Amino acid sequence: MDERIPVVGVDYPRTHQQLVAWFSTEEDCLEYLARLRWPGGFVCPACGGDKSWRTARRGMWMCSGCGRQTSVTAGTIFHRSHTPLTTWFAAIWFVCASKNGVSATTLQQVLGFGSYETAWAWLHKLRRVMVRPDRELLSGVVELDETMVGGRTKRAVSMQQTKVPIMVAVETPGAHRLGRIRLARATAKNSDQLVDFAHQVIAPGSHIRTDGARNLRQLGEQGFTHEYRVLISSVEPAHEYLPGVHLAASLLKRWIAGTLHHGISTRQLDYYLDEFTFRFNRRASRSRGLLFYRLLQQAVATDPHPLTTLIGGTENKP
């Protein structure tokens, strides 16, 4: 992925009006995706060659070395999509421009999709590119705890409401300031999964603050500085000792209720957590265009997700 700092008005549009002007045709969109996928120039997936030319009939990139024809959308979330890329770009801009996100019903209405299922699938494709697998670990002072959120599990005749434990890690760089967050679902409450989660998302040497649960006390012997306080009374409520975790958890629950209207199945919960993380960590961004750029950048680096794998949710998560 290109790590240089993108420039507004040059690398990504500043406004919706500029978006429409830049991407009025399929060719405009293809050229833009090509720059994102191959920031240093075309690279043949077969032989690694860097010389190519465009075919006139199908707009493919033809490798001058081995003759392999490559589509810029092959192997991305746009793979084999029959919908114009101009519509995809409009959808991605709308998703990024909506500060709290959108529901599938809203996306269906805005873009005029013929079915709710199409809008649902598009949103889930985008959620699968919102978190980079190589993202940086949290560092500095990090609060660590769990919260419970409601999930829905399909039964034979109805939807049964369940509670699911969610692991939460929040950077706290200063008083009344929050940094980045990480979220993940746990299979059981108060398990050693929270220790494993800490190793997965927090950089070694960081200062971890917890509520003193016994299973977390081992963190101080595993490469972290561990500060904890056993909260056995209301003298110092948990939300005062771990304000970052409790604020993030509260905002997550509010987002689920307000934007998604509690419409989350347990199988899809991981991907909703990814979307909330993406939005929370970019809450201070003043440019919706930059979010559009970053999401497209990750979209061309993410494998396709056919509808069958989307429906399966975490059953198909690697």
pLDDT tens string 8-48: 999 999 999 999 999 999 999 999 999 999 999 999 989 99
- pTM score of the predicted model: 0.85
Band of pLDDT at residue 159, cut at 50, 70 and 90:
very low
Task: Answer yes or no: is 86 within a domain.
Answer: yes
- What pLDDT shows up at residue 263? 62
CA 111, CA 122: separation in Å to the nearest integer?
11
- pLDDT of 199 > 90? The answer is yes
Strand partners, 92: none
Lowest mean pLDDT across 86-90, 147-151, 197-201: 147-151
CA 212, CA 308: separation in Å to the nearest integer?
43
Q: Verify that 54 and 112 share a domain, yes or no.
A: yes
Task: Answer yes or no: is 313 within a domain.
Answer: no
Check the CA dihedral 293-91-101-14 and report its sign.
positive
Sorted by sequence, the CB contacts under 8 Å of residue 45 that are 6+ apart come out as 68, 70, 75
| Residue for token pair 């421009």 | 97
Band of pLDDT at residue 132, cut at 50, 70 and 90:
confident
Number of domains in the chain: 2
- pLDDT of 274 > 60? The answer is yes
Q: Verify that 189 and 262 share a domain, yes or no.
A: yes
Lowest mean pLDDT across 113-122, 197-206, 220-229, 237-246: 237-246
Structure tokens at 113: 């999709």
Q: Which domain holds residue 242?
A: 141-282
Band of pLDDT at residue 59, cut at 50, 70 and 90:
confident
Q: Verify that 68 and 37 share a domain, yes or no.
A: yes
Task: Answer yes or no: is 266 within a domain.
Answer: yes
**Which residue has better confidence, 67 or 311?**
67
